[in-house]
Amino acid sequence: MKKITITGAGLVGSLVGVYLAKKGHTVHIVERRPDMRREAVVAGRSINLALSDRGLRGLQGAGIDKDILNVAIPMQGRMMHSISGEQTFQPYGLEHQAINSVSRGGINIALMNCAEQMPNLSISFNQRCLDVELDSATLVVQDTTTNKRSFIESDCIIGADGAYSAVREKMQKTDRFNYSQSYIEHGYKELTIPAGLNGEFLLNKNALHIWPRKQFMLIGLPNLDGSFTCTLFFPFKGNPSFDSVKSDSEIKSLFEENFSDVIPLMPNYINDFKVNPVSTLMTVRCFPWSHKDKVLLIGDAAHAIVPFFGQGMNCGFEDCTVLSEILDNYSENDWENAFKEFELLRKQNSDAIAHLALENFIEMRDKVADAEFLRRKKIERLLHNQFSEIFTPLYSMVTFSHIPYSDALTLGEKQDYIINQILSIPHIESDWNSADNQTFIRSVMTPK
Amino acid sequence: MKKITITGAGLVGSLVGVYLAKKGHTVHIVERRPDMRREAVVAGRSINLALSDRGLRGLQGAGIDKDILNVAIPMQGRMMHSISGEQTFQPYGLEHQAINSVSRGGINIALMNCAEQMPNLSISFNQRCLDVELDSATLVVQDTTTNKRSFIESDCIIGADGAYSAVREKMQKTDRFNYSQSYIEHGYKELTIPAGLNGEFLLNKNALHIWPRKQFMLIGLPNLDGSFTCTLFFPFKGNPSFDSVKSDSEIKSLFEENFSDVIPLMPNYINDFKVNPVSTLMTVRCFPWSHKDKVLLIGDAAHAIVPFFGQGMNCGFEDCTVLSEILDNYSENDWENAFKEFELLRKQNSDAIAHLALENFIEMRDKVADAEFLRRKKIERLLHNQFSEIFTPLYSMVTFSHIPYSDALTLGEKQDYIINQILSIPHIESDWNSADNQTFIRSVMTPK
């Protein structure tokens, strides 16, 4: 059994801690922030997330998937809000399929509680990582409340310290470490639609609401208390942008022109817009993720992605499931090779979801309101119904399956080609079952 | 007039120092290494470089271009060495055009001497940069001989501290800084062909020698003392690779199979191969390069590239020329905008040469020995001769002109298309002047 230090008691750090402690290892999680169960913590991150199948399987390994689902709000589809306030619902998948609006803090606390119940796992808070000695798996940390510094020696460090990982920063200076951090031109700002006077939801609670406006968009996810957390994804520069919209009247114009149906639901929008911070959105790609059998990066530390496919947490939890399975196939003195298998497998999948997440931003903010896009979606659904064994839409493969992301990406590209062929037949979606059309559809679905 | 601190007294730091001091600014260059004029310094970098037109124009601004050319060896073309030892010469451009083999240390010393002759410029050696306060343009440095720390305050910092820039590392942590470091799968090792017994060159001195072997290559550049500095670009992994070739017999086999004509010229090759270090090859891309009017990255600190187009130094020197011209168009209190103009202009050009440099590795190690490639090169030369006003081959645009790299890249792609059309006519290169062929050639050269 190994002595393992995990940096970060966030979502992935806590979960991977549970997995490793279950295998019998002695796990010590060190977290820079205070204990969020005792002090209000500003995490600087979105307060709710969309939990889907990959994430649920991760939580299952810790035995808390059902507890989390009990306090989640299922969202069966997107509700598009047009400029004029019309709402159109697009299901995400089949009738029983939904993504789940969950509180980031809620899941994190559940995971930390679950972790601390294990006798061979402990969490230390307020520990800022000052240095990492990769070869010896030693951390130098400083207690932010006492300023006391200490060394933490172990057999292995799991770097689960997020997009701005201190462990990765140290690895960045090792020989031939490939690294990129790449920001998009948009930032985001959180706003709130409070619950109604009687605690009721003021919009359909079982949908992810989207106000797609081409160069920008507003989205809203339901919270248990009847409120919606809304996020405005908006350019930093240009017109309109966070640069150009600052005064009360500029904010008012922006909302009146673009989100008029939101104004009555969001009484403090002008003040919130002025006061709430703007956050950035980054993709991190790096390789390798491991240093011998001493250090392994996981979650956002290895592959931070933008949030537009709702897969950041889900992908991080899938890391935990996959790592756990791989470790079972290796002896304890061969973790170097286990880490290598893990990083090779997950690198291609995290690259795929990073790419899909960036693409989905354009889909969400622009294409979802487009007639041609809606026609594509309709064809996808028709194919999914008729050929359910061999055709699953890309969104469903990513969200409601455990197909590796990179396979989903490749299959999605092939499906695009098929859909394009079918779309070339005028009105095919309304005349789907005609003999001619069915012959054609079958021929493109089963080529050669 | 400003007080300017430059980090790095390397090639670009020294040259940009001269340019800025010439404008009347007070310039202080801080260099981490000892003074290479007093102590032998292992720079860990290749000891000779190919100086071409962009670099020469940079040196002209410091008035030392002629001095450098006097101690340079012109190389008019590539000399390919086949497996069987046959040599084939390919000119780089027109008869009077050549790239120049120069000593990195020689140019650096000439630039430092030139810089220190200026009353308003000073260089401090052995100053390791510990920290950079970007907003106040303050450096924290430590003298590596005395361990004494000091603050250096100035109006502006020019970060010319190379591919592993400390200034850039600090900027990497600022908001929305895009950054990537990307290594290729090959490393390099330097070897030497000494001068003959009477100091004579043992290979044609006016050529860059290449032993192209598809997955790897050896190159050789002449030095003034009659020797050639050779560089083996070789994979880290696989077979053969630095991983697989280690013992005397493995090294001997590698050379006997691939570089048999080199063995008699390189008496110590087995020992040199075993003793000399392996270096890595990296591309660095980042943006922005400036922080307000306080900090500007330049040269490899902003855009390190692989060496295969021989443009690293030339591109860095062109940075100096371009920055100098841009600064002349801005008042001293508007350097923020001057820096912005510089970074926008040079970013696209450094991205282009970074791309071309990576592509040229494949050309050098693989295609140059290929009959089809030689046919392309012949067509290029014929077009260059006949349409000299409108057709300059890509290599010549990059090497013998000041056309912005990004324009050269775009033009090169268009030319590829033209050359492909011409190559589709069988034997056109031997029947160039037939009436039919000339009609066709004119039609593809002047489309529409």
A343-375 pLDDT, tens digit each: 999 999 999 999 999 999 998 888 887 888 889
Mean pLDDT of the residues in chain B: 95
Quote the pLDDT of residue A44: 46
What band does B372 get if pLDDT is binned at 50, 70 and 90?
confident
Please report the pLDDT score of residue B429 as a whole number: 86
Burial class (CB in 10 A: 0-12, 13-18, 19+), B425: middle
Which positions ≥6 away from B200 have C-beta within 8 Å?
Answer: B226
* Beta carbons of A177 and B181 less than 8 Å apart: yes
pTM for this prediction: 0.91
Of the candidates A175, A180, A280, which has its C-beta nearest B176's C-beta? A280
Reference A126, options A212, A206, A248, A36; nearest CA is: A36
The model's confidence at residue B374, banded by pLDDT at 50, 70 and 90, is confident
Pick from A165, A173, A183 the residue to mutate for testing the B interface (most B CBs within 10 Å).
A183
Q: Is A175 on the interface with B (CB under 8 A)?
A: yes
pLDDT given for residue A42 in this prediction: 56
Chosen for mutation from B179, B282, B340 (greatest number of chain A CBs closer than 10 Å) is B179
d(CA B354, CA B368): 20
Q: pLDDT per residue over B72-119, tens digit each?
A: 999 999 999 999 999 999 999 988 999 999 999 999 999 999 999 999
pLDDT at B448: 64
Q: State the Cα–Cα distance between residues A324 and A318, nearest whole angstrom.
A: 10
Q: Which helix (H) or strand (E) holds A235?
A: strand A228-235
Contact status of B235 with chain A (Cβ, < 8 Å): no
Rounded Cα gap, residues B333 and B328, in angstroms: 12
Q: How far is CA B72 from the centre of its chain?
A: 16
User: What is the architecture of the domain spanning B3-76+102-181+283-360?
Assistant: 3-Layer(bba) Sandwich (3.50)
Sign of CA pseudo-dihedral A151, A152, A157, A160: negative
Res B41: pLDDT: 60
Q: How many angstroms away from the CA of A235 is the closest CA of chain B?
A: 13
**Is the pLDDT score of B273 beyond 60?**
yes
User: How confident is the model at residue A45, as a pLDDT?
Assistant: 54
| Spatial separation of the C-alpha atoms in residues B165 and B152, rounded to whole Å | 17
According to the model, what pLDDT value does residue A370 have? 83
User: Tens digit of pLDDT for each residue in B418-442?
Assistant: 999 999 998 898 899 999 999 999 9
- Per-position DSSP letters for B130-190, written without gaps between them: EEEETTTTEEEEEETTT--EEEEE-SEEEE---TT-HHHHHHTTSTT-EEEEEEEEEEEEE
Q: pLDDT (tens digit, 0 to 9) for every residue of chain A, 448 residues total?
A: 999 999 999 999 999 999 999 999 999 999 999 999 987 765 445 688 999 999 999 999 999 999 999 999 999 999 999 999 999 999 999 889 999 999 999 999 999 999 999 999 999 999 999 999 999 999 999 999 999 999 999 999 999 999 999 999 999 999 999 999 999 999 999 999 999 999 999 999 999 999 999 999 999 999 999 999 999 999 999 999 999 999 999 999 999 999 999 999 999 999 999 999 999 999 999 999 999 999 999 999 999 999 999 999 999 999 999 999 999 999 999 999 999 999 999 999 999 999 999 999 998 888 887 888 889 999 999 999 999 889 999 999 999 999 999 999 999 999 999 999 999 998 898 899 999 999 999 999 986 6
Amino acid sitting at position B243: D
Band the pLDDT of B45: cuts 50, 70, 90. low
Cα B55 from Cα A183, distance rounded (Å): 33
Burial class (CB in 10 A: 0-12, 13-18, 19+), B339: buried
Q: Measured in whole angstroms, how far is the alpha carbon of residue A356 from the centre of its chain?
A: 12
Average pLDDT value for residue range B27-37: 96
In this prediction, residue B44 carries a pLDDT of: 46
Does B361 have pLDDT greater than 80? yes
Q: Where are the beta strands (DSSP E) in B173-269?
A: 178-193, 207-212, 217-222, 228-235
Distance between CA atoms of A140 and A151, rounded to whole angstroms?
5
Q: Is the dihedral of CA B182, B186, B187, B193 positive or negative?
A: negative
Segment B208-233, tens digit of pLDDT: 999 999 999 999 999 999 999 999 99
Q: Looking at chain B, which residue has its C-alpha nearest residue A283? A: B178
Interchain contact, A181 vs B177, CB within 8 Å: yes
Chain B positions in Cβ-Cβ contact with residue A243 (cut-off 8 Å): none
CB B150 within 8 A of CB B270: no
Check A181 against B181: CB less than 8 A apart: no
| Partner residue opposite B280 with nearest CB, options A175, A182, A280 | A175
Locate the domains of chain B by residue range: 3-76+102-181+283-360, 184-280, 371-445
Interface probe, candidates A164, A180, A242, chain B, greatest B C-beta count within 10 A = A180
Interchain proximity A178–B178, CB inside 8 Å:
no
pLDDT tens digit sequence for A122-135: 999 999 999 999 99
Average pLDDT over residues B243-268: 97
Distance spanning both ends of chain B, measured CA to CA: 54
